[in-house]
Homo-oligomer: A and B are copies of this chain.
Amino acid sequence: MATIKDIANRLGISVSTVSKGLNGASDISEHMRQAVLDTAVEMGYTTKQMRGRDRKKLCIFVENMDYETSEQFGYDIILGFRQAAARENYDTTVFPVTPSFQAAERYDTYMLKNGYAGAFMVGFALQDDWMGQFAATAIPTVLFDNYIKKNPCVGSIGTDSFEGIDDAIAHLISLGHRRIALLNGSPHSMISEQRRQAYMDSMTARGLPFSEASMPYGYYAADAAKDYAGGLLALGVTAILCGNDLIASGVMEECNRNGYQVPDEISVIGFDDIPLSAQLQPPLTTIRQDRIELGKSGFYTLHSLINHVSISRTMLRPQLILRKSTAPAKPVKALTP
Chain A residues near B (Cβ < 8 Å): 149-150, 152, 160, 163, 167, 290, 293, 296-297, 300, 304, 309-317, 319
Q: Decide if B310 touches A311 in the complex (CB within 8 Å).
A: no
- How distant is A153 from chain B, measured CB to nearest CB, in Å? 10
Give the chain B neighbours of A313 by CB distance below 8 A.
160, 313-315
Residue ID in chain B nearest A313 by CB atoms: B315
Q: Decide if A317 touches B163 in the complex (CB within 8 Å).
A: no
Give the chain B neighbours of A311 by CB distance below 8 A.
297, 314-317
| Copies of the protein in its oligomer | 2
Q: Decide if A310 touches B316 in the complex (CB within 8 Å).
A: yes
- In terms of DSSP, what is the predominant structure of the interface of chain A? mixed
Give the chain B neighbours of A297 by CB distance below 8 A.
304, 309, 311
Measured CA separation A152–B314 after assembly (Å): 14
Measured CA separation A293–B310 after assembly (Å): 9
Give the chain B neighbours of A160 by CB distance below 8 A.
312-313
Q: Which of A293, A296, A311, A317 has the most CB of B within 10 A?
A: A317
Contact of A317 among B152, B293, B316, B319 (CB under 8 A): B152
Give the chain B neighbours of A309 by CB distance below 8 A.
290, 293, 296-297, 316
- How distant is A203 from chain B, measured CB to nearest CB, in Å? 17
- How distant is A102 from chain B, measured CB to nearest CB, in Å? 25
Q: Which of A152, A167, A296, A316 has the most CB of B within 10 A?
A: A316
- How distant is A318 from chain B, measured CB to nearest CB, in Å? 9
Q: Decide if A152 touches B319 in the complex (CB within 8 Å).
A: yes
Give the chain B neighbours of A314 by CB distance below 8 A.
311, 313-315
Q: Decide if A163 touches B312 in the complex (CB within 8 Å).
A: yes
Measured CA separation A313–B309 after assembly (Å): 16
- How distant is A173 from chain B, measured CB to nearest CB, in Å? 15
Known: A150-B317, A311-B315; 4 extra A-B contacts, CB below 8 A, are A160-B312, A309-B316, A311-B316, A313-B313
Measured CA separation A310–B315 after assembly (Å): 9
- How distant is A319 from chain B, measured CB to nearest CB, in Å? 7
Residue ID in chain B nearest A294 by CB atoms: B309
Measured CA separation A150–B293 after assembly (Å): 18
- How distant is A104 from chain B, measured CB to nearest CB, in Å? 31
